[in-house]
Chain A
Amino acid sequence: MTTLVDETDLVYHEDDPRVVPLLPETDHSGEAAVTIEAVSKVFSSRHGKVAALDNISLTVAPGEFVCLLGASGCGKSTLLNLITRLDVPTSGTVSTVGRPALMFQESALFPWLTAGQNIGLALKYAGVPNKQSKAKIDELLDLVRLSGTANRRVHELSGGQRQRVALARALGQNSQVLLMDEPFAALDAITRDVMHDELTRVWKETGNSIVFVTHNVREAVRLGQRVVLLSSRPGRVVGEWKVNIKGPRTIEHPAVGLVAAEITLRLREEIASHARS
């Protein structure tokens, strides 16, 4: 694993929503939040067998923020389906602490429910008693800075607000592992920047493990403590970086840009290798 370091002597607050705490130097030896061991997935189709994932191993420590980066066809949806147990691997094992929560690119909120009821449904099936539900909904909405919107309908919320309610719903599943499938890909740039700060803040407050899938390299570097690069067809782990940028990170930051440039180089090589010569 390559470590990309940025040594700066700036004065900053650890609770600045742009500051991502660095991974400890020592390798996590304790129990992992997500363990993927030598996982392969082969789909059978009319045209024969297609390998979607090939011998992927990955561990996510409790409280760690990992970004999975890959071009089209890297099997990220397959991998997420395996982690959420919507599907089973052809070989290898997947284990997680509890059932993971999952957030999608679309908010996927139910339009016939209010914002609060959407969160309430997640709470109900996470085993939260009805009596505590109301208070918990308010608490989660406060956390994503949407206090007082519990009675809003989904269509009365902006794109960014919907993703925040979706985040609150995912957190309502009371899971230690949060999987995110390109959750900000459909947002405009400014809203996405705000969401990055909000996500970093919420993650630091809740201490969840997050597996964040994206194909935006800068986004991965802005958010992740670790970036894992997957190859395409079949998906394999081809690179792994620890992002050691101290101090506040923003998407347009030169430090983020430099790290992203190195990862992009590797990603471009990987994509180019698929060209038919």
Chain B
Amino acid sequence: MPALDDSVITQAEVEREDTAAVGAGLDVLEEPDRVRDPWWRRLGSSIVPPILALVVVLVIWEIVYLLKLKPEVMLPSPAAVWDELVRLMQGGQAWETIWTSLSRGLIGFAMAIVIGAPIGLAIARFPWLRASFGPLLSGLQSMPSVAWVPLAILWFQISPAMIYMVVLLGAVPSIANGLTAGIDQVPPLYSRVGQVLGLNWWAQTRHVLLPAALPGFLAGLRQGWAFSWRSLMAAELIVTSSKLGFGLGQLMNQGRDLSDAPLLYAGLILIFVVGVGVELIMFRPLERAILDARGLSTKKR
């Protein structure tokens, strides 16, 4: 039993009651830095490098063209392809063609989310489903979607349903696997908090697992879109019919049939631009919003 002398605590120390002040000071000092670069610098650092890369590609193209390594029917000049693009756009044909394909791609993608997300959730949450169907779904992801085209034609003949079947078989596995992977990466501590707060199975899924898995799911969605777009192009390139309307794949086929190299190159560029455009317009802002809200943006000062 230690005996203590009165002198160890002085009356002055007793009077000191500064917890609140010290706490408030700490709050100010430890306030995380919320400074952001001005918009023009952020824009500059994200837009200038890809434009430079594009210029390099164009310059190389022009040089190869000028060297006449390939005949013009195989490799037209960048200028000729540009003229072709301008012609397609001025006639309005490009927009119509893009819309035909893009709307199909987006509808297929939306259906793939509606089908894929519940599958991914079920596989993540029920061990016996994971054990049985998990490997099957992962395996489906590595199937080239073109391989489904003949079967899709057999089932649905030449019709939009056939196109959607190919798109879905391409995109659903990526989206489902993305959600499963996202849920698997949720820190166990979050689930433990959910249990302590008294969340039941469904509340745990809805309030903890799904929101926590969102960044991982977003990666799956991105991949799902890439697969939708690829599958769609594969289907459109293989099947040309008036029943299917005139999409980018059909435009490319036309270029091939007419041996119209500038048209073919223009078609390739349009397919590329749409794929990248959706990524930039849809996924970038979504990712930025999700990561910013959680303080997960890669850029730190």
Q: Identify the A interface with B (CB < 8 A).
A: 2-12, 16-18, 84, 86, 99, 101-102, 104, 106, 108, 110-113, 121-122, 125-126, 145, 153-161, 173, 190-191, 193-194, 197-198, 201, 247-248, 253-255, 258-259, 261-262
Contacts A2-B1, A110-B208 given; 19 further ones with Cβ under 8 A? A9-B6, A11-B11, A16-B14, A86-B195, A104-B189, A106-B189, A125-B203, A126-B198, A154-B294, A154-B295, A156-B32, A160-B23, A160-B26, A173-B196, A247-B14, A248-B14, A253-B9, A255-B4, A262-B2
A102 to B11, CA, bound (A): 37
A161 to B26, CA, bound (A): 9
Nearest-CB distance from A108 to chain B (Å)?
5
B26 x A190 contact (CB < 8 A) = yes
Residue of B13, B26, B34, B212 near A112 (CB, 8 A) is: B212
B177-230: which residues lie under 8 A (CB-CB) from chain A? 189-190, 192-193, 195-199, 203, 207-208, 211-212, 214
Give the 6 A-B residue pairs with the shortest CB-CB distance, closest first: A155-B295, A158-B30, A197-B19, A254-B8, A258-B2, A111-B294
Query: B17: CB under 8 A from chain A?
Result: yes
Residue of A153, A173, A190, A194 near B294 (CB, 8 A) is: A153
Residue of B nearest to A255 (CB): B4
A122 to B195, CA, bound (A): 11
A111 x B6 contact (CB < 8 A) = no
A145 x B23 contact (CB < 8 A) = yes
Give the A-B contact count at a CB cut-off of 8 A.
Answer: 127
A158-B31 CB under 8 A given contacts A10-B9, A125-B199: yes
A18 to B16, CA, bound (A): 10
B211 x A112 contact (CB < 8 A) = yes
A156 x B295 contact (CB < 8 A) = yes
B14 x A10 contact (CB < 8 A) = yes
Nearest-CB distance from A204 to chain B (Å)?
13
Residue of B6, B207, B294 near A8 (CB, 8 A) is: B6
Nearest-CB distance from B37 to chain A (Å)?
18
Residue of B1, B14, B197 near A5 (CB, 8 A) is: B1
B263-301: which residues lie under 8 A (CB-CB) from chain A? 293-296
A255 x B26 contact (CB < 8 A) = no
Nearest-CB distance from B25 to chain A (Å)?
9
Q: Give the chain B neighbours of A102 by CB distance below 8 A.
A: 196
A248 x B9 contact (CB < 8 A) = yes
With most chain A CB atoms within 10 A of its CB, the pick from B1, B6, B31 is B1
Q: Give the chain B neighbours of A193 by CB distance below 8 A.
A: 22
Q: Give the chain A neighbours of B295 by CB distance below 8 A.
A: 111, 153-156
A153 x B30 contact (CB < 8 A) = no
Residue of A8, A11, A121 near B4 (CB, 8 A) is: A8
A254-B4 CB under 8 A given contacts A110-B212, A121-B207: yes
B9 x A110 contact (CB < 8 A) = no
B13 x A248 contact (CB < 8 A) = yes
Query: B257: CB under 8 A from chain A?
Result: no
Residue of A nearest to B23 (CB): A194
Q: Give the chain B neighbours of A198 by CB distance below 8 A.
A: 19, 23
Nearest-CB distance from A194 to chain B (Å)?
5
A8 x B30 contact (CB < 8 A) = no
A158 x B2 contact (CB < 8 A) = no
Nearest-CB distance from A77 to chain B (Å)?
10
Q: Give the chain A neighbours of B52 by CB distance below 8 A.
A: none
B17 x A125 contact (CB < 8 A) = no
A112 x B214 contact (CB < 8 A) = yes
B20 x A145 contact (CB < 8 A) = yes
Residue of A106, A197, A255 near B9 (CB, 8 A) is: A255
A194 to B25, CA, bound (A): 11
A156 x B34 contact (CB < 8 A) = yes
Q: Give the chain B neighbours of A125 by CB distance below 8 A.
A: 197-199, 203
B190 x A108 contact (CB < 8 A) = yes
A17 to B23, CA, bound (A): 13
A194 to B199, CA, bound (A): 32
With most chain B CB atoms within 10 A of its CB, the pick from A7, A125, A159, A259 is A125
B294 x A7 contact (CB < 8 A) = no
A258 to B31, CA, bound (A): 36
Residue of B nearest to A122 (CB): B197
Q: Give the chain A neighbours of B203 by CB distance below 8 A.
A: 125
Q: Give the chain B neighbours of A9 by CB distance below 8 A.
A: 6
B190 x A110 contact (CB < 8 A) = yes
A158 to B24, CA, bound (A): 12
A161-B27 CB under 8 A given contacts A8-B4, A155-B295: yes
A89 to B295, CA, bound (A): 40
A10-B26 CB under 8 A given contacts A110-B211, A121-B197: no
